[in-house]
Structure 1
Amino acid sequence: MRDELYSPLGQTLAPAARPQRRSLGRWLGAACATALVAGGSAFTALNQPAFAPPAPPSPVKVAEQVAERRPEPAERQPNVLRMEQGGGFTISDAEGERPLVDDANPMTGSIRVLEPGSLRQPAAFSHMPEQALLEATDFGPLPVRGTDGRRPLDVYAGAWSGTGGTRIAIVVGGLGVSQSGSMRAVEELPAGVTLAFAAEGNSLDRWMQAGRRNGHEILLQAPMEPFGYPDVSAGPHTLKVADAAAGRLDDLHWSMGRITNYVGVMNYMGARLNADPAALQPFLGELSKRGLLYLDDGTSLRSEARDVAMANGTSFASADLVIDTEREPASIEKQLDVLERIARAKGTAIGTASAFDASIDGIKRWAAAAAERGIEIVPVSALAFDPEARG
């Protein structure tokens, strides 16, 4: 009766199997299934290939892949100097990369570069000394060639167009002696005018930084022995002929340690030393060794500086005339006119002056008009004979 009540409508309920047989069948089924699974897994495992890490690619294949991924080398920048591990330098320029051999100045082991302007200090940092171009001494930081071959002459050189045409360099000296004159020269003169700082002056570092920020190239005026010494003296640290000839350059080093960021040295007085080749050779050799130029102010007709500089491999320039031997405006204007005629005759000219009010006023007026006549005022380094430059 119970089975009929739970039987689906219209279907006949099959007789129930005995519990003992149903449990035994389930056990046998499960055992068979387990045996089949285990046997299949064992068969699969036994027939799998042995596991091993993949063999490394051959070195040749790796090299080929790296070569395919390696970018093309960047184009060599011109005038880049590199110091080699074993000593010596190489240069990259339009001719390719090659060892840099010095055949111009074997005395100093100098490095010659093409277009030194490419090594010029960026304008934004031009008032800051390059630490790699300084030597710590008892006299203060002295300029020195960098281990990469750069010279202070290259790095601190003033900018100019680099084109041809009539070019004039004007050097205004005595900065640091008069504070008002120094301020006017730094702030009012065109950037192309070179400023020369007196070693005995005051606040030199402050004026140097202001001058460099305004685009001026810098020289150091070193006191040197004049005729009539000691009755006529350039100051307590005058470089004397006897000391220079003997290689005793302490007074020169004192002057050189008073300021930084200059491209060379200009004489203050010094007619007697400039006339003595035995004294000039150690003096100019020291400047060349340190990567500086020498500017002869051109006041002495007995100067031997040009010939000794040429023989010594020193970068050199000589002034054609002094602009303000007389401080009258009419005389200064006349001298500037003479300087311009010299430049038009030979292409370039160099004039010197001092930071007097009349000189600054006259140079300002002349420079504005000269630019309209196609004359470029350039830093003195642009007109110097440089035996280390080639091109």
Structure 2
Amino acid sequence: MAEATDDLSAPLGRDGVRGKRRFRLPFTPIQALALALGLFLAAFAGFALFHDDPLGGEPLTRIAIAPSPGGDKAGAKTSETSAEKPAMAAHGTEAPSNKAHPGAGAEQRTVTIIDGSSGAHQDVKIAGEASEKDAAAPGVMPGIDPRLLEKSRYGMIPTMADGLRPFTAYAGEADRAKAAKMPIVAIVVGGLGVGAAKTVDAILRLPAAVTLAFTPYGSDPAKLVERARAQHHEILLQIPMEPYDYPDNDPGPQTLLTALAPEQNLDRLYWHLSRFQGYAGIANFMGARFVATDTAMAPIVKEAAKRGLGYFDDGSARSVAPSLMAAQAVPFARADVTIDGVPTSAEIDRALDKLEGLAKERGLAVGVASALPISIERITAWTKTLDSHGLLLVPLTTAMMKSKSS
């Protein structure tokens, strides 16, 4: 009877003998995955914060230089640590090496390229003797006469050599005999280089005789200038200069300013001159105050004469450039008409008619325009009528030479 009572009072579904307890984890698999990910991120952050890597994982290059016979101890150095030579190889150049002593023969160099992320090494042997001229070659655009280049701290800038000057070397092609006998017009389209699409449009649509003026800005002005020269356009470099409302109206970095010493403005000029090569002259970019200040302009004009460049003035009424250029015998031209001062078809056509009238009256006239689509369209259409009107379209340098001779 007692045994029956025990069976009746026992909880339903339980056996008389207690079974084994099953082990259970204190977290789910998803929670475990989240914990592991959090630990990994914490370890990565700690490594980034506290690991001392002064190069920040950048690619490196090392150069091994064979000792030169009879050289001194410095010449016997065979390698340099990767920390001493940042990897210029990753940017298309190589780290500089010590020159071999005269008579030592060809310089043997090995460039070790180190991947900054994986640490993999790749040794590249460079055979042959590298000259100073070869070392400067990567910074020179195709079709540029190396004799007309001088090294500055910013890069290669134009200079004169062997009686040759950039003004004549890079002048656009023209029938100068024909230009001497009939009225001529020259057109300068400026503001190029910033905005690749509009620049390429101007290069391809405008006649080759139209001179193109490039600002020193833009991501790759040298590439665009190279394309323009391939289309036989004559090139000018526009130098940013101080306007009257500066700094509210700022032409851009390295602008030439009236408040700076001549040495400072010349240093800024060298920066602009080094941005690309192959231009026949320079021109002001804005700069109404600067071109009207004799003490500021005089050193710039002298430098243009020293480097064999022409100068184009966009037509500022107070500019002292004409008298300064004449004193320095710098090839010079000044814009007679701003073609797209009012950028509408009717006003541009009216300005072109005025330019044509001045050319017939005086024998030559110079117009200036910006690279607006409407300007390019109207100028291109107008140039197709010049033959029937008894006019010849010429590059700016031809107009400069005709003006000087007359």
CA contact (8 A) 1:265 1:293 kept: yes
Partners of 2:351 and 2:142 lie apart in 1 by 32
Q: CA deviation at 1:247?
A: 6.2
SS at match of 2:365: strand
Equivalent AA in structure 1 for residue 175 of structure 2: S
Query: Residue 175 of structure 1 aligns with which residue?
Result: 192
Partners of 1:382 and 1:202 lie apart in 2 by 31
Query: Residue 269 of structure 1 aligns with which residue?
Result: 286
Asked if 1:307 is matched to 2:323, the reply is yes
Q: 1:390 to 1:383 in 2, by over 3 A?
A: closer
Query: Residue 346 of structure 2 aligns with which residue?
Result: 330
Partners of 1:242 and 1:311 lie apart in 2 by 24
Asked if 1:143 is matched to 2:140, the reply is no
Asked if 1:361 is matched to 2:377, the reply is yes
Structure 2: stretches of 5+ with no match in the other structure: 1-140
Q: CA deviation at 1:204?
A: 1.3
Further displaced range: 331-340 or 203-212: 203-212
CA displacement, residues 143-162 of structure 1 (integer Å, 9 cap, x when unaligned): 0001x110000100001111
Partners of 2:325 and 2:350 lie apart in 1 by 31
Task: Choose which of 241, 258, 275 in structure 2 pairs with 1:258.
Answer: 275
CA contact (8 A) 2:196 2:224 kept: no
Query: Residue 225 of structure 1 aligns with which residue?
Result: 242
1:59-98 to structure 2, matched below 5 A, reads none
Partners of 1:310 and 1:296 lie apart in 2 by 13
Query: Residue 288 of structure 1 aligns with which residue?
Result: 305
Query: Residue 152 of structure 1 aligns with which residue?
Result: 166
CA contact (8 A) 2:189 2:210 kept: yes
Task: Choose which of 326, 329, 350 in structure 1 pairs with 2:366.
Answer: 350
Equivalent AA in structure 1 for residue 185 of structure 2: I
Q: CA deviation at 1:253?
A: 1.1
Query: Residue 119 of structure 1 aligns with which residue?
Result: none
Q: Which runs of 4+ in 1 moved over 3 A?
A: 244-248
Q: 1:202 to 1:331 in 2, by over 3 A?
A: farther
CA displacement, residues 32-85 of structure 1 (integer Å, 9 cap, x when unaligned): xxxxxxxxxxxxxxxxxxxxxxxxxxxxxxxxxxxxxxxxxxxxxxxxxxxxxx
Partners of 1:246 and 1:255 lie apart in 2 by 14
Structure 1: stretches of 5+ with no match in the other structure: 1-125
Query: Residue 227 of structure 2 aligns with which residue?
Result: 210
How many pairs were matched up? 263
Asked which structure has the greater CA Rg, the reply is 1
Query: Residue 76 of structure 1 aligns with which residue?
Result: none
Partners of 1:237 and 1:373 lie apart in 2 by 44
Task: Choose which of 103, 126, 130 in structure 1 pairs with 2:145.
Answer: 130
Partners of 1:355 and 1:138 lie apart in 2 by 32
Q: CA deviation at 1:293?
A: 0.7
Partners of 1:205 and 1:236 lie apart in 2 by 18
Q: CA deviation at 1:386?
A: 8.7
CA contact (8 A) 1:247 1:282 kept: no
Partners of 2:331 and 2:260 lie apart in 1 by 22
Partners of 1:386 and 1:257 lie apart in 2 by 29
Q: CA deviation at 1:390?
A: 7.3
Q: CA deviation at 1:255?
A: 0.9
CA displacement, residues 328-365 of structure 1 (integer Å, 9 cap, x when unaligned): 11111111111100111101000001111001000110
Partners of 1:280 and 1:386 lie apart in 2 by 25
CA contact (8 A) 1:224 1:240 kept: yes
Question: Percent of counterpart pairs with the same letter?
Answer: 40
Q: 1:381 to 1:244 in 2, by over 3 A?
A: farther
Query: Residue 62 of structure 1 aligns with which residue?
Result: none
CA displacement, residues 289-328 of structure 1 (integer Å, 9 cap, x when unaligned): 0000110000x21111101111122221101011011111
Equivalent AA in structure 2 for residue 257 of structure 1: S
For the aligned residues, what is the CA RMSD?
Answer: 1.9
Query: Residue 69 of structure 1 aligns with which residue?
Result: none
Q: CA deviation at 1:246?
A: 5.2
